[in-house]
Amino acid sequence: MDRRLFWCFLLIPVLALFGLSKANVEIAEDKIPPPTYGATYDVPQPSIRMLCIKHSREHMADGDANLAIKAVTNAAAKGLPIKIVGNHFVDGRLVAGFPTNTDFVQRIYDAETLTQYVNKYIKADATPGDTLIIFTIGHGFPGGGLQNIGQRRDVQKVLAEAAERNNQKILWWQLSCHASSSLPTIDTLTPRQQELLTMFASSAASETSAAYVQGNIMAKIFDAMAGRSASLDANSDGKITAAELRTFMNTINGSYGSRVHARGPDMVIFGRAGVPFLPIVDRNGPQGRYDEDYVLLPR
């Protein structure tokens, strides 16, 4: 057979197949939807736990704790990952439960220091990257003292050291008269403690604090979180920074925002600072010791 005829017979089916394949591709391409860029993620809500510490044996302290518990319960019913992990009277030496709030009461017969008590509850039901609100309730004085548990600076030291030791983010929500008096600033803490501890004081140094108010403020904050409100989370990233919390609290009362104490305006108080769905594994370095805003760079 002539070689030219041989190659013609060989190429005809190949070309036909190519044409058919191309036609099929073109038909398939017509059915392919236009490309989209980016991705949509369900931004996780901040996870929060609350520990109520009452350092004054009065019904007012119980009332304020009950309001905070109610705020937590209502927000949890709306889908916010938030819970109570403790509610007790603490005087620096003895921890005891009141007979009210029976869901959370625990009788402790052996004396415990404040440090021991905080260390017991700091990781109770904890989740990675969550925030523990330590809500202290009781009388405070212009000289910097908190009834039954000592000076504000000493309480801050206990909480800051516990946060660093347990790698736990803590918001110390202090309800007392003259709450800002002799309260050390955040920059007096160690660098690591500044990354973990933030504070809110219920009153200025020269002011008293009314009972039955702070729980209602918490309720507004938690409800805004549960509803993913832009009035609190302005950029809808699932993280509440010090600046965002101050702005929101200023809408409640113009002086509240200034009493939110943090390392800086971008400090994340509620929510994980880093990318929550990308765990970091270092085969050569220590595990679990990274800051929340650690950025993993490719080599």
Is this prediction's pTM over 0.85?
Answer: no
Average pLDDT of span 235-258 = 94
Q: Is the pLDDT of residue 91 over 50?
A: yes
For residue 19, what pLDDT band results from cuts at 50, 70 and 90?
low
256: Cβ contacts below 8 Å, ≥ 6 apart: 217, 246, 249, 250
70, burial (CB in 10 Å: exposed 0-12, middle 13-18, buried 19+): middle
Confirm or reject CATH 3.40.50 for domain 48-270, answering yes or no: yes
For residue 163, what pLDDT band results from cuts at 50, 70 and 90?
very high
CA distance 120 to 224: 30
